[in-house]
Chain A
Amino acid sequence: MNIFSPEAMIQLSLALPALAILLVLLTGRFPNVREACTLVVATILFLINCDLASYVFAGERPSWNLGQMMMPGFDIAFTVEPLGMLFALVASGLWVLTTVYAIGYMRGHHEKNQTRFFACFAAAIFAAMAAAFSANLFTLFVMYEVMTISTYPLVTHHGDEKAKRGGRVYLGILLSTSVAFFMFAIAWTWKISATLTFRQGGILSEAFSNGEVSELQLAILLGLFAFGIGKAALMPFHRWLPAAMVAPTPVSALLHAVAVVKVGVFSLLKVAIYIFGLDLINDTGAGEWLCYVAAATILLASLVAMTKDNLKARLAYSTISQLAYITLGAAIATPESALGGGMHIAMHAVGKITLFFCAGAIYVGAHKTDISQMKGLGRAMPFTFAAFLIAAISIIGLPPGGGSWSKWLLALGAAETGQTFLIATLMISSLLNIAYLIPIPIRAFMVPDGEEPQSFNEGPKMCVVPLCITAVGSVALFFYANSIYDCLLPIVQ
């Protein structure tokens, strides 16, 4: 299938979502054409990414430099490495499914301004692709911000008072953390090492061994990155994620379970691996405090999730908790933990998008948003709730869900550094996950006393089919975890 050179495929991966924006805007008047365009472009994008992946996972590192922006050293440049490739694959693959789902959802729900919706969606995917392939921190930051801005109209799609408040929290937290911390951290890194290019083994270790930065400064710098990348939703900067749930469900599904939040943790992993270097974090103990913060986020977010009756809110807090797993992987900074974090990006993405798809399907099919109203609904929507159960198992980290492997690797990493309390945290969190996820489908399949079982009434087909595919996918990942592990292995060697 080698029609294009790897470099051309990078260009195409960036150009296609941009083309999708244009096509959507041009064909806005004809919804069928518009959606067909998105779908076709998304499919081509996924295929190209698959092709590109075959090169990258074989050890090639294709790169493309768009050119210098401002001073020398601040280039918009792209280099594909395995972690970014995995993220791009996940995002582009799920974009196809989400597009199908969104067509069902948006039409089933008679949403307004669908053209703007699909255009902004493509813009967000563009930013995700560019961030995934970014070759330096500068490019990553630019795309990170582009994503924040392009998703704002999606979060506030309904345009009412509630959307306004949600959007305010969303933009407020994401912009202020990125400007006050992330940008500062990048400029500081530039000052220390005079380069921003991601490099195997990190770019800060030299300055550290020359005594130009102290251990404390490194810890502070890591902190600026960890909190500055607000999309990683580390507490106390997590409020934007629940606030973003005012968005239509496809947005919550792809962006706030996959693209946006994963850009956050992906950036953090990339910073840990390619800017600091795992060895440096380990040797200086710069990540130690971050372990505590991540562990606290894991537990607290799970506890908050248990108190939420609104399904999307519960899923949002569950996401915060699961993202902290990946942050934890970066903070522990052993090869296993970093790989576990990287794999969890894919595992959690597929699992969580299924859960959100289910939430949306329940909303469109049965107009229910609260968990307490969903008793007995499983009889009416068997596919949806079965998918929910399967995905929940993966999120919890039980076999045969893909999430079990990434959590296993994280636990291994924690064991290696001898931080037993972290293993305990992971175990307790899994128990909490069971407590807040499993009862939902179980109760749905139980018929409440004295009520007739509801008749079969699934959501639109366009909604149900994608969620079944992703549910199957999260099981399939359990069996193919080994190959993902092998593909990612070069990043820690």
Chain B
Amino acid sequence: MIEFLQYHLPVLLIVIPMIAAPLAVLIGNRRVVQLLSLAVCWTTFGLALWMVAIVNSSGPVSYELGGWAPPYGIEYRVDQLNSFIIMFVSGLGAIVLTYSPHSLNAEIPQSQHYLFYPMYLLCMTGLMGICVTGDLFNVFVFLEISSLSTYALISLGKTRRAPLAAFQYLIMGTIGATFLLIGIGLLYQLTGTLNMADIALQLENQRQINDGQWTGSRTLLVAFAFLTVGLCIKMAVFPLHTWLPNSYAYAPSVVTAFVAATATKVSVYAFIRVVFGIFTPRFAFELLPLDTALWSFSLIGIFMASIAAIFQQDVKRRLAYSSIAQVGYMLLGISMANIDGLSAGIVHMFNHALIKGGLFMVVGCFVLRLGSVHLDDWKGAGRTMPWTSLAWVLGGLGLIGVPVTCGFISKWLLLTAALDNDLYPVAILMLISSLLAVIYVWQVVEVLYFAQPSEKAKKATEAPLLMLVTTYVVVGANIVFGVWTTYSAGLAAKAAKALLEGGSL
């Protein structure tokens, strides 16, 4: 039995939540569905942990779907990089769901709960699928699964702006997905295969035959352009970020916490896979100026989004802009295309998932008790909700990147990587931009602790224990992974090394 499970582990990660989703709709009972979803999420997390252990002990795992050997069949391939990502994505998914009941009761009509859970599970399925699969078309399919369910989740928001925000995201997201599909089509035309490792191999072979020239290079260039731009939309890279602030701001708090912690990171993962696994850094960074493009857009994005965040009175929107800026840091690291930079990018995916997940959970607590995301209503809440406010401070310190929080690790790795590449202006600009985070985090801290309490804050009580505990688990992980970095930073470095040396892992 154990062996059977272990053998099918990669596909179980996807199949379990996928089957549970329609089941949940069929059951329809709110309580049962809730328990079922919780069980599924925690099981998935457990399986992901198991997966990590297997990959760590015996190297990458390849799984042939339906017994069809790649490149004809679909291959699921789990290595250090994606096992790391499925681990934290499923972990955050499980913990956010555990955190959710009180918040859901307050923000989503109970009659719609049985719809929330299937969507959540489907979104999880999609995210896990993108990570696990080794097939490029599969990436598209799972991206659509996760995106469509995210649109639905966002539209569950309380205000009437939520469906509008979801629609905005739908349009942008569909354009992105279409671009991705076009890119995949062109690659298929060039190579006749959809398996990512095989595409890379075929491209390399064609190049060898052609004396080192890239064959069909115009098709290849167009495919590359469609793929990168398509993924940039999903990652919310400036200037393709416009869908993100509204979606995060109007979605239910639980949804925002889940999506902000996971969705963009998985897109960044797909981007890394496409750029490093299929096209190779030589093509992207030496032949094409993707590095310059990335770091210039990242830096502009970091500054624009951080400055925009400072002026947001809606805390969710403030954090949403911060997310856009933080994606910039990840891409900054990736654009350096050396081990330090790439591992900084990868480790920041993890760290930022913890930081932003934790902070949005804090926001959820405040929304539950204060019924508002507006800073005016948060005034003085530090007195009536001390623990929630402290969690904001701790998470915020992580976002700023103060030592002993995980944000510092990312920032430090990024800094040393930039200096190693002699990118002094980038290093200086990056450091200055991180000071903007101090402003947008601390404005909220000052509102919480120093302002005269608002009417709502006076009446507020501390958030429910369950929400507090789960929030503190995530916020605490911020600090744990800021001190004990052997696992996160060490693993990121290994993954980065493999990506740079071997193309595909």
Contact = CB atoms under 8 A, between A and B. Distances in A.
A117 B368 CA distance: 30
Contact of B415 (A71, A149, A156, A183): A183
Nearest to B435: A176
B446 A164 contact: yes
A159 B446 CA distance: 9
A74 B490 CA distance: 13
A183 B493 CA distance: 22
Given A184-B431, A191-B419, A164 B450 contact: yes
Contacts of B446: 164, 167-168
Given A70-B413, A70-B485, A159-B449, A187 B438 contact: no
B53 to A, nearest CB: 23
B497 to A, nearest CB: 12
Interface string B407-438: 00100110110011000000110011011001
A467 B403 CA distance: 35
A145 B450 CA distance: 23
Q: Is the interface of A mostly helix, strand, loop or mixed?
A: helix
Given A176-B435, A180-B431, A188 B419 contact: yes
B449 A149 contact: no
B283 interface: no
B420 A179 contact: no
A218 to B, nearest CB: 16
B416 A191 contact: yes
Interface in B30-70: none
B498 interface: no
A75 to B, nearest CB: 12
B438 A176 contact: yes
B402 interface: yes
A376 to B, nearest CB: 38
A430 B432 CA distance: 39
Contact of B438 (A69, A71, A175, A190): A175
A115 B296 CA distance: 48
Contact of B402 (A145, A184, A187): A145
Contact of B450 (A74, A142, A156, A183): A156
A161 interface: yes
A172 B415 CA distance: 21
Contacts of B483: 69
Interface string B448-478: 0110000000000000000000000000000
Interface string A156-171: 1001110110011001
Contact of A187 (B397, B419, B486): B419
Contacts of A183: 412, 415, 431
B442 interface: yes
A141 B420 CA distance: 20
Nearest to A69: B485
A454 interface: no
A217 B432 CA distance: 21
Interface in B475-503: 483, 485-486, 489, 493
Contacts of B412: 70, 74, 183, 187
Contacts of A184: 415, 427-428, 431
Contacts of A149: 397, 402
A68 interface: yes
A334 B432 CA distance: 35
Interface in A180-218: 180, 183-184, 187-188, 190-191
User: Chain B CB within 10 Å — which of A69, A161, A171 has the most?
Assistant: A69
Contacts of A180: 428, 431-432, 435
B16 interface: no
B412 to A, nearest CB: 7
A159 B404 CA distance: 26
Interface in B147-196: none
A149 B441 CA distance: 14
Nearest to A148: B402
A145 B400 CA distance: 12
Contacts of A25: none
A163 B402 CA distance: 22
A293 interface: no
B435 A179 contact: yes
A146 interface: yes
Q: How large is the interface on A (under 10, 10 to 19, 20 to 34, 35 or more residues)?
A: 20 to 34
Contacts of B340: 71
User: Chain A CB within 10 Å — which of B413, B428, B450, B486 has the most?
Assistant: B450
B393 to A, nearest CB: 9
Contacts of B449: 156, 159
Interface in A89-138: none
A168 B450 CA distance: 11
A191 B25 CA distance: 58
B415 to A, nearest CB: 5
Nearest to B386: A116
A149 B401 CA distance: 12
B415 A171 contact: no
Given A164-B446, A184-B431, A171 B416 contact: no
A56 to B, nearest CB: 26
A71 B493 contact: yes
A340 B190 CA distance: 74
A167 B449 CA distance: 12
Contact of B404 (A74, A146, A163): A146
Given A70-B413, A191-B416, A171 B442 contact: yes
B161 to A, nearest CB: 33
Contacts of B489: 70-71
Contacts of A172: 438
Nearest to B382: A159
Contacts of B432: 180
Nearest to B401: A179
A141 B409 contact: no
A176 B415 CA distance: 15
Contact of A190 (B402, B416, B434): B416
B287 to A, nearest CB: 28
Contacts of B416: 71, 187, 190-191
17 contacts: A69-B409, A70-B489, A71-B413, A74-B412, A142-B403, A146-B403, A149-B402, A159-B449, A159-B450, A161-B450, A171-B442, A175-B435, A175-B438, A187-B415, A187-B416, A190-B416, A191-B419
Given A70-B413, A179-B431, 10 more contacts: A70-B409, A145-B403, A146-B404, A149-B397, A167-B446, A168-B446, A180-B428, A180-B431, A180-B432, A190-B419
Interface of B: 340, 397, 400-404, 409, 412-413, 415-416, 419-420, 427-428, 431-432, 434-435, 438, 442, 446, 449-450, 483, 485-486, 489, 493
Interface of A: 68-71, 74, 141-142, 145-146, 149, 156, 159-161, 163-164, 167-168, 171-172, 175-176, 179-180, 183-184, 187-188, 190-191
Q: Ordered nearest first, which 10 A-B pairs have the shortest CB separation?
A: A164-B450, A142-B403, A145-B403, A191-B419, A187-B415, A70-B489, A176-B435, A70-B485, A180-B431, A187-B419
